[in-house]
Amino acid sequence: MSKFTTRPEILGTFGVVASTHWLATAAGMAILEKGGNAFDAAVAIGFALQVVEPHLNGPGGDVPILLYSAKSDRVDVVCGQGVAPAAATIGAYRSLGLDLVPGTGLLAAVVPGAFDAWMLMLRDHGTLELAEVLAPALGYATAGFAVVPNIAKTVETVRPLFETEWPSSAAIWLRDGGPVAGKLFRNPAVAETYQRLLREAAGDSREARIEAARRAWYGGFVAEAIDRFCRTQEVMDSSGRRHRGLLTADDMARWSAAVERPCSYDYHGYTLCKTGPWGQGPVALQQLALLRGFDLGALSAEDPEFVHTVVECAKLAFADREAFYGDPDFVRVPMETLLSDGYNDERRKLVDRRASRELRPGHIPGHGAPPIVRIARGADSDVAHAGAHGAGEPTVARFEAMAVSRGGGTRGDTCHLDVIDRWGNMVSATPSGGWLQSSPAIPGLGFPLGTRGQMFWLEEGRPASLAPRKRPRTTLTPSLALREGVPYMAFGTPGGDQQDQWSLNVFLRHVHFGLNLQEAIDAPEFHTAHFPSSFYPRECRPGHVVVEGRFPPATIEALRRRGHDLEVDADWSLGRVSAAAKDGPLLKAAANARFMQGYAIGR
């Protein structure tokens, strides 16, 4: 196949940064140039993304982080996924006449976890002050940043909702007519929140000042404003009705980010590290365990056999996600069995030359439950609802063509960042949630809460069933890979349920076909929507596969002959993967060219 790339693979020795927005990438590189390390840079990027991609993430959202510390020589997970409120019981939602957690509004809110995760990493691994890593985001919020087209499109989509139901959001996003693509936009409300945070972050050491900021967020003015809004406001959501929130200041005060060991799997000389099964991350490992039994190296990235095999293994792995995954603090998830040779040898036998239309989870006695299957009503049903009642998740986007579906849905995305510094420290993080169209802005704070609670089921006895202070089984799933035991590659993508398809496809193309990072990202992309969506209204499209139009006609025809419900999308329409790698002294980075927004830099 052609080794065409849209831009060069970045090579350097000092540091490399990649993210889904060029301004955030530049902020991260500026921190490295200032003398900060990868952890400092990642925090600066995370805060900058909250300002410059507000339709994709925000201060009220979540973030899982995978990091490698050269000092400790260890890979860790920082869990920035907040938990459900103490009052969030299945009975409480059922009493409101709901059979699904709404995709928008206050009932879907969990404790906003991103801020504490960034602070925990900054405190334990960073070197710079909070004020230094917040400076780029504060600058963008105060002086303004150039609006990308999809911010303007998103605001226009939800304009009627803001005007009639969410006045606190209208005050921010419809000010002076609203944001205009290519023009500067300022968010003084968010700027004031972070300025107040810095004023309250007093202490006699860097660590003490970071701890003071954490207290101000989870036990001070931020928590108080959230508590007051959830108690006193009835907010329109995707159910078509108005509801108060359940999140309280006590919920905020009782939660903190945590450091965990990653799940991992060895594959062809690489070790892929992911979050635990409170996120969908292990589904990538399960796909590798299945694919290990196929000779992918004898194929090519555009071979129909490659696409078919990867898709069919994805169907099996994601069926297991639906049957077994949930917060391990509440349910026993049999990860050792799910990744075992014996289990995958049997599961692999289900893959044949015809596309499966069935959802086929494995059976492990004493674990899991049958998946809940809701068949999509039409072509737009896999898009989370927006427009009339907000957006449950901006998951899969063609950024240049954001449209409103018949159900009010919009297509968007999330954010991702990767950093490697000259000392060999690595960070891969996928911030999301709390986007401007998810929920009304909290007065006095300037940002909305997230809606990750929509990933809970309101049926008893499921691994991902709703329970107080339980983590929703998130889709956010950064990746960090070792090569022959040496930390090598940080990568990931936005994209909801597609994250562990698009990023895994890039990994497979790199490992099996020798494509460099940029070549692997630029290669034609594909995914399946065969399994239940994690987002409201939680539907699936059995057998459905989407491929970019750059695949050869022969590949497309061969996949159709095998029984796939194939949709050919635009040539550059799927995925927003970025990646960074360390190959000896050489540092590498690459970013997605689709939608002309992501960027990688380094020297």
DSSP line for 29-57: HHHHHTT--HHHHHHHHHHHHHHH-TTTB
Contact between residue 381 and residue 537 where contact means Cβ atoms under 8 Å apart: yes
Residues 6+ apart with CB under 8 A from 194: 47, 134, 137, 138, 141
**Numbers of helices and strands, H then E, in the chain:** 19, 21
Average pLDDT over residues 392-397: 49
Percent share of the chain, pLDDT over 90:
93
Q: How confident is the model at residue 4 (pLDDT cuts 50, 70, 90)?
A: confident
Q: How confident is the model at residue 386 (pLDDT cuts 50, 70, 90)?
A: very low
203: its two tokens: 């202490």
Cis geometry, peptide bond prior to residue 262 (ω within 30 degrees of 0): no
Query: What is the structure's pLDDT at 389?
Result: 61
Q: Is the pLDDT of residue 411 over 90?
A: no
Query: What is the structure's pLDDT at 269?
Result: 98
Q: How confident is the model at residue 400 (pLDDT cuts 50, 70, 90)?
A: low
Alpha carbon distance 575, 526 (integer Å): 8
Alpha carbon distance 548, 550 (integer Å): 5
Residues 6+ apart with CB under 8 A from 375: 539, 540, 541, 542
Phi, psi of 428 (to 5 degrees): -130, 125
Q: How confident is the model at residue 88 (pLDDT cuts 50, 70, 90)?
A: very high
Spacing of C-alpha 541 from chain mean position = 21
Contact between residue 370 and residue 363 where contact means Cβ atoms under 8 Å apart: no
Alpha carbon distance 410, 382 (integer Å): 10
Query: What is the structure's pLDDT at 3?
Result: 77
Alpha carbon distance 43, 215 (integer Å): 18
Sheet of strand 565-569: strand arrangement:
526-528, 544-548, 565-569
Burial status of residue 204 (CB atoms within 10 A of its CB: 0-12, 13-18, 19 or more): exposed
Alpha carbon distance 241, 160 (integer Å): 16
116: its two tokens: 């504490």
CA distances to 304, 563, 567 from 526, rounded to whole Å, are 11, 16, 10
Residues 6+ apart with CB under 8 A from 470: 83, 84, 326, 327, 329, 330, 456
Q: What is the largest CA-CA distance in the chain?
A: 69
pLDDT per position as a tens digit, 151-181: 999 999 999 999 999 999 999 999 999 999 9
Smallest CA-to-CA distance from 293 within 351, 345, 354 is with 345
Query: What is the structure's pLDDT at 381?
Result: 42
Q: How confident is the model at residue 247 (pLDDT cuts 50, 70, 90)?
A: very high
Q: Is 274 helix (H, G, I), strand (E, B) or coil?
A: strand
Contact between residue 32 and residue 15 where contact means Cβ atoms under 8 Å apart: yes
Alpha carbon distance 98, 106 (integer Å): 14
Q: How confident is the model at residue 377 (pLDDT cuts 50, 70, 90)?
A: confident
251: its two tokens: 């919920």
Indicate yes or no: pTM above 0.85.
Answer: yes
Alpha carbon distance 4, 523 (integer Å): 9
CB-facing half-sphere around the CA of 302: CA atoms within 13 A: 17
Strands 242-243 and 235-236: antiparallel
Q: Is 442 helix (H, G, I), strand (E, B) or coil?
A: coil
pLDDT per position as a tens digit, 120-133: 999 999 999 999 99
Helical segments of 165-294, H only: 167-173, 188-200, 206-219, 221-232, 249-254, 282-291
Burial code (b: 16+ CB inside 10 Å, e: under 16) for 175-185 equals eeebbeeeeeb
1 CB neighbour count, 10 Å cutoff: 14
What residue has token string 């969990």?
110
Looking at the DSSP bridge assignments, the partners of residue 18 are 418, 600
